[in-house]
Structure 1
């Protein structure tokens, strides 16, 4: 890849399409990032904690953790966040989230093997 993608550029490029619902979601996320005052890593780790708390679907983890990885969030930081929130949200919720994260990661691996991952996600 010739240039490095950033979460902002990834979200911004999606917003240029013809998907009004997706465009609105992207705009909400860009506003949230800007208004949070957090650095990118902290922002995405906070979002991870919120996803776990609400027992989000695998696709939510896929979208958020993909952008988090682009922002430099490591696997160890994701694991640390899951450990930190377990006493608050419960071990069952963290176990559920971990399984959904693995499913999302497996889906990406399969798509990459089949050559169906968009170029900007192959970074």
Structure 2
């Protein structure tokens, strides 16, 4: 049975991304490197990067590794794509933080209501 969510499309895309990472025979960090490089190469929008934040965190992918990746692929994809990717990645992190804040607020409100009715 499907669970209710305020972000069903994003949740589905994130689940698909996580599932493909788990089914791939590469190390999770290598998969994230390959995926982010592909996103940069195709000038993907911020929402595409957003779907990769959770798998990147789970793979212990660091900001320094992301920067190294962008430096490594800049001569191939070009500076315009790398700068666009940096902007989109920043936007994706902003959305992820806003979603996390909204979820935390909803949980806090639910707990407060639960305490007040007890």
User: Structure 2 length normalisation: TM-score?
Assistant: 0.69
Q: Would you tell me which structure has more helix in proportion to its own residues? A: 2
Which ranges of structure 2 fall in alignment gaps of 5 or more residues?
105-118
Structure 1 unaligned regions, length at least 5: 1-15, 119-123
Task: Report the RMSD for the aligned CA atoms in angstroms.
Answer: 3.1
1:116 alignment partner, one of 102, 108, 112: 102
How many positions carry a matched residue from both structures? 102
CA contact (8 A) 1:51 1:61 kept: yes
In the alignment, which residue of structure 1 is the partner of 2:53? 65
Q: CA, structure 1 residues 117+48, in 2 after alignment: closer, same or farther (shift >3 Å)?
A: farther
Structure 1 residues 117 and 101, CA gap change in structure 2 (3 angstroms) = farther
Structure 1 pair 28/59, CA: closer, same or farther in 2 (3 Å)? closer
Instruction: Pick the structure with greater CA Rg.
Output: 2
Instruction: Give the TM-score normalised by structure 1.
Output: 0.66
